[in-house]
Amino acid sequence: MADGTDMRFTHLGRSGLRVSRLCLGTMNFAWKTNEPDSFAIMDRAHEVGVNFFDTANVYGNARGEGLTEKIIGRWFAQGGGRRERTVLATKVYGSMGDWPNDEKLSALNIRRACDASLVRLQTDYIDLYQMHHVDRETPWDEIWEAMEVLRFQGKILYAGSSNFAGWHIAKAQESAARRHYLGLVCEQSLYNLFVRDVEREVLPAAQDYGVGIIAWSPLQGGLLGGILGKEDGPGRRFEGQRAQDTIRDKRDQVEAYEALCREIGEEPANVALAWLLTRPEVTAPIIGPRDLAQLEGSLRAVSLSSELDPETLSRLDKIFPPYKPAPEDYAW
């Protein structure tokens, strides 16, 4: 990029859409990060080449108000090519009100939720419209018809999923194929060194169907961010009893991990992000900076991903054992 940052790009799943290898998560906006700081983070993201932004209609810590989308919309409204340079992803599923059809994936809610997000985001289209969770009560023909209508209207370009099981991805893609529709181009899953369950079935399904993986919580809530080595201690998010229990239960792994990171001279958070970028199924991990410093600190991960040697990757697998694809992981 212009400032020398080594940002890289890849296709989102099997689509022709090119996105940055880091995805800017906005969950903290309007919750832990105020509007001016949110604007500064998004501006800096563009400066360093991050073009992929992820949000959701339920973000903002105020049910039904879509505060995070509104902040992004006001940022877009400043102009200067902000919207045009952004691959914008938002989500539908979560409850936005008290009425029966204010949630999940009925055709009615998909239509209403999309229109409401467009208003809040101050844009006339969404690049990637993601289902925030699987809806077991709505048939896929209804879901895909609703998405097709939105695409025909020019309101969305691509569809994605989040928190789907492998068989949900298969069912969604087979249903889309019967309709001669593109279907999912990505799946957003919990994936990090500590939580590797998706390696059993989600990653194989995604890879087979050409679905890119967007990894959320890449630092496992900060456990992979160097918490033991921080001079000021683990921080507020680890003050509660449950968090302290987690640190106690995982301490051996965290200590071994942080020792490895010290040995190779890299920040633990960047090693965790870089490891995800070495996974062939992963399009991008989601970084959720609360401030500019956290954003700047994450940028090293992109170049580091090509510097992690086989020995280091093997040592990481010993600390955080991987899963084999199903059924080999639990059968002969």
CA 332 to chain centroid, in Å, comes to: 33
Domain membership flag for residue 284 = yes
Q: How confident is the model at residue 230 (pLDDT cuts 50, 70, 90)?
A: confident
What residues are annotated to the active site? 59
pLDDT above 90 as % of the chain: 92
**CATH number of the domain within which 248 lies:** 3.20.20.100
Domain membership flag for residue 57 = yes
Query: Would you say residue 92 has pLDDT above 80?
Result: yes
Domain membership flag for residue 324 = no
Domain membership flag for residue 178 = yes
Q: How many alpha carbons lie under 13 Å from residue 288 in its C-beta half-sphere? A: 23
Domain membership flag for residue 328 = no
Query: Would you say residue 235 has pLDDT above 90?
Result: no
Distance, in Å, from the CA atom of 205 to the CA atom of 192, rounded to the nearest integer, reads 18
Distance, in Å, from the CA atom of 95 to the CA atom of 55, rounded to the nearest integer, reads 15
Total domain count for the chain?
1
Query: Would you say residue 242 has pLDDT above 80?
Result: no
pLDDT (tens digit per residue) in 16-45: 999 999 999 999 999 999 999 999 999 999
pLDDT at 246: 81
pLDDT at 4: 47
pLDDT (tens digit per residue) in 155-208: 999 999 999 999 999 999 999 999 999 999 999 999 999 999 999 999 999 999
Expressed in angstroms, the distance from the first to the final Cα of the chain is 49
10 Å Cβ neighbour count for 65?
16
Distance (Å) of CA 224 to CA 14, 21, 167, 254: 30, 19, 29, 7
Of 182, 248, 253, 186, nearest in space to 224 by CA: 253
Domain membership flag for residue 330 = no
Domain membership flag for residue 220 = yes
Query: Would you say residue 239 has pLDDT above 60?
Result: no
What are the phi and psi torsion angles at 321 (to 5°)? -55, 135
Q: pTM for the full model?
A: 0.95
pLDDT (tens digit per residue) in 102-126: 999 999 999 999 999 999 999 999 9
Query: Would you say residue 238 has pLDDT above 60?
Result: no
What are the phi and psi torsion angles at 155 (to 5°)? -85, -25
Contact present, 92 and 126 (Cβ < 8 Å):
no
Its domain, for residue 60, covers 9-319
- Mean per-residue pLDDT of the chain: 95
For residue 214, which amino acid is it?
I
Please confirm whether the linkage preceding 327 is cis (ω < 30° from 0): yes
Q: Can you list the alpha helix ranges (DSSP code H) found in the chain?
A: 35-47, 67-76, 107-121, 140-152, 166-178, 202-209, 241-264, 268-278, 292-298, 300-304, 310-319
Domain membership flag for residue 49 = yes
pLDDT at 240: 60
